[in-house]
Amino acid sequence: MIHANAPLTPVGRLRLARCVVDEGWPLRRAAERFQVSVSTAKRWADRYRHEGEPGMTDRSSRPHTSPGRIPTRIERRIIKVRLARRWGPARIAFLLRLVPSTVHRVLTRFGMARLNHLDRATAQPVRRYERATPGELVHVDIKKLGNIPDGGGHRVTSRQAGKRHRTRTPGKNLDRYGNSHVGYSYLHNAVDDHSRLAYSEILPDEKKETAVEFWQRAQIFFATNGITVERVLTDNGACYKSLLWRDTLTTAGITHKRTRPYRPQTNGKVERFNRTLLDEWAYARPYRSETERRAELPRWLHTYNHHRGHTALAGQPPASRVPNLSDQYT
């Protein structure tokens, strides 16, 4: 590979060397003719004398010896610690009394993947994928979420006050199912693999009937935005293994896929959406009641789908990959 700033290609070097060696040009005249320094002209002429035409190619700049390089046994210890404990350069350097930059160079030299590119369970590089079109695959999952009592929970008040609020709230803030906001609710989420377009609802349980009703509304949401769902990927929850769920998808002409047991990363796109939902909505600020928090969900979902930049989409929102998305410019 020729250096970007090299004034001569191998052909030009050969011409220069032949002018000096074969035709007897003075070095200074040859240097002026080919617009290089005298020392450069001498180097290529000398190589041509000793090696002929093969000597006109670039050589590796790697030194013949590296006295400052750490011993091989230390490199092996670094790799062994990395594989056994899955530590980063700083922690490995502290253990082995080395400099973190040295450890980083060793890990890079041996092609060790970054920790955030490895699966936590198996330490194998994560295989990332993305479907080519919207609707080709939709990820579905349920996230259990603790409700906020009237007056605020322990995140707003003290832990003792939060407990008092929980004991005096029953009977208030009943949702459309007649359930109190004290206890837990369940976030049913659906995320399109290609566009990351998301649909979410807060429901009282994770029973098969509730999951099926949620999916029917989610399917209408995707269809309204021009997305025809072909496959649905879920975990192995009881509601997703039920005959009702299977028959509902089969009737709609949708293929159902389930993740391998104990492999939630297979459904990673909706798992990541769950975490974003908690960080940017559920726990984003201290709410004074569950009603107040739930009222914020539609606004946050609109922001997520239409305005919030997504790193996997080159900083663009999901709406950028769904041309027919309703309210796209609001």
With a CB cutoff of 8 Å and minimum separation 6, the contacts of 3 are 58
Q: At what angle do helices 208-224 and 243-251 cross, to 10 degrees?
A: 20
Q: State pLDDT tens for residues 38-77.
A: 999 999 999 999 999 999 988 888 888 888 888 999 999 9
Does position 171 have pLDDT exceeding 60, yes or no? no
- What pTM did the predictor assign? 0.61
pLDDT at 24 over 90: yes
Angle among Cα 276, 278, 282 to the nearest 5 degrees reads: 135
User: Which pair of structure tokens corresponds to residue 17?
Assistant: 């060397």
Q: Nearest Cα to 230, choosing from 262, 203, 269, 257? A: 257
**230 membership: H or E segment, kind and range:** none
pLDDT at residue 261 tops 60: yes
The residue ranking higher by pLDDT, 77 or 164, is 77
Amino acid 85: pLDDT: 87
Closest CA to 106 of 133, 136, 82: 82
pLDDT score of 111: 86
- Of residues 246 and 3, more confidently modeled: 246
Please report the pLDDT score of residue 62 as a whole number. 81
The pLDDT of residue 170 is 46
What value does the mean pLDDT of the chain take?
A: 85
Nearest-angstrom CA–CA distance, 286 and 288: 7
Whether 121 shows a pLDDT value over 70: the answer reads no
Q: What is the mean pLDDT of residues 85-97?
A: 91
Q: Are 322 and 214 in contact (CB under 8 A)?
A: no
Taking the C-alpha atoms of residue 107 and residue 96, their distance in angstroms, rounded to an integer, is 14
Position 8 scores a pLDDT of 87
CA 157, 163, 166, 167 torsion-angle sign = negative
pLDDT at site 163: 54
